[in-house]
Amino acid sequence: MIKVLANDGIHNAGKSALENEGFEVLTDKVAQDQLIEEINTKEIEVLLVRSATQVRKDIIDSCPKLKMIGRGGVGMDNIDVAYAQERGIDVFNTPAASSQSVAELVFAHFFTCARFLQDANRQMPGKGNTDFKVLKKNYAKGIELRKKTIGVIGFGRIGQAVASTALGLGMKVMAYDPFLEEAEIGLEVMGVGKIKTVIKTTTLDDLLTNSDFITLHVPGSKGTASLIDKNEIEKMKDGVVIVNAARGGVIAEDALLAGLESGKISTAGIDVFENEPQPREDLLKHPKVSLTPHIGAATNEAQERIGLEIADKIIGFYKK
C-alpha cells in the first residue's frame, strides 16, 4: 500500500478520496528533526505539507523512496523545489483552491478598518459600559467602500478574485501588474448570471496616487527590497487603507508603522508578517492595525478544495 504522510494535516475529503483509491494516509504530526527517520522506516512515498514543515535538501537527499512532495496552498518557500525536481521528485501545490478565501479575508480587513472594528473590539470589553458615549464618538468617522477606488497590486488569481468582489460592492477597481495588460473579471450574481468586464492594468504610480484602498497580491520576495516602502507610501492618498495578505515584507513594516503614526495611512489590515511566526510587537499592538495570523486560506471550503486537489494529483500521478 502506498503511504502518504500529511504532516501539516489534510481535509477529510482529500483523505477519504485517497483512502478510497487504496492509499494509506498518515496524519500524525512528525517533528521536523524526526522526519527523515519516519519517512524511511515507514517507506513513505508522498510527503504533504502546508507552510509549517520544511522540506529541504537534507530530507530530499536522505529519503530515496520519496516520489512526491505536495504543498497544500500556494507559496512554496518552505520547499527546495528545484533541488527536489532535479532528483526526479514530483513537486506540486494547489494554487487556485484558496483564492476566494483570501479575497474574502481582504474584505474582512477592509470593512474592519473602514469602521475601526479592530480598536472597538479591543476597547468595548473594558470600557463599553463605562465610556460608551466616548467610544461611540471615537468611531464616528467611518467610511463606506461603495464608490471608492480599490488598487490591486498583483493581478493574478487572488488579485482578480478581489477585483470581482470589489465590483460586486460597487467599487472602482484599479490594478497594477507588470506582467499583465488586462484581465477579464467575472462576477457571479446569484440568481441572475455571470457578468464579465475587462480591467486594464495601470502604472504603480497611477494606482498609488488614486486609490482609497490598496491591497497586495504579489509573490513573496524574501531578501529583496519591499515593493511598498517609504517612497511609495508618500505617493498614496492621505488616509489610505492598506491590506497585506500576500507575504510578509512586500510592505516594509517600518514604513507602514511610520505611515500609520503620521496619519498618512488611516488603518491597515495585516495577515502576513516579516518575522513569522514572531511578528514585531509594535505592529501587533498598534490600535490602527487589524490583525490575523496568516489565515487567508483557512476556511472549510478552501481546505476541502485543497484536500481534493491534492488527492486528484496523487491519484493521477500513480495512474500514469
Binding site for ligand NAD (CB under 6 A): 73-75, 95, 98-99, 102, 153-159, 176-180, 217-220, 227, 245-247, 271-272, 294, 296-297
User: In sequence order, what are the residues at sequence separation of 6 or more whose Cβ sits closer than 8 angstroms to the Cβ of residue 203?
Assistant: 176
Shortest Cβ 88–ligand NAD spacing (Å): 26
Q: Is 178 exposed, middle or buried (CB count within 10 Å of its CB: 0-12, 13-18, 19+)?
A: exposed
Shortest Cβ 193–ligand NAD spacing (Å): 25
Rounded Cα distance between 286 and 119, Å, is 9
Query: Looking at beta carbons only, is 71 or 286 nearer to ligand NAD?
Result: 71
Rounded Cα distance between 224 and 247, Å, is 12
Shortest Cβ 261–ligand NAD spacing (Å): 25
N-to-C CA span, the chain: 17
Rounded Cα distance between 22 and 59, Å, is 26
Query: Looking at beta carbons only, is 25 or 175 nearer to ligand NAD?
Result: 175
Q: Is 90 helix (H, G, I), strand (E, B) or coil?
A: strand
Residues with active-site annotation:
247, 276, 294
Shortest Cβ 220–ligand NAD spacing (Å): 5
Which residue(s) pair with 214 in the sheet? 151, 242
Name which of 120, 112, 125 is nearest 138 in CA terms: 120
Nearest-CB residue for ligand NAD: 156
Query: Looking at beta carbons only, is 20 or 221 nearer to ligand NAD?
Result: 221
- What nine digits make up the cell of 307? 484536500
Query: Looking at beta carbons only, is 9 or 220 nearer to ligand NAD?
Result: 220
Query: Looking at beta carbons only, is 9 or 75 nearer to ligand NAD?
Result: 75
Place of cell 514572531: 278
Phi-psi region of 63 (alpha: psi -120 to 50; beta: other; left: phi over 0): beta
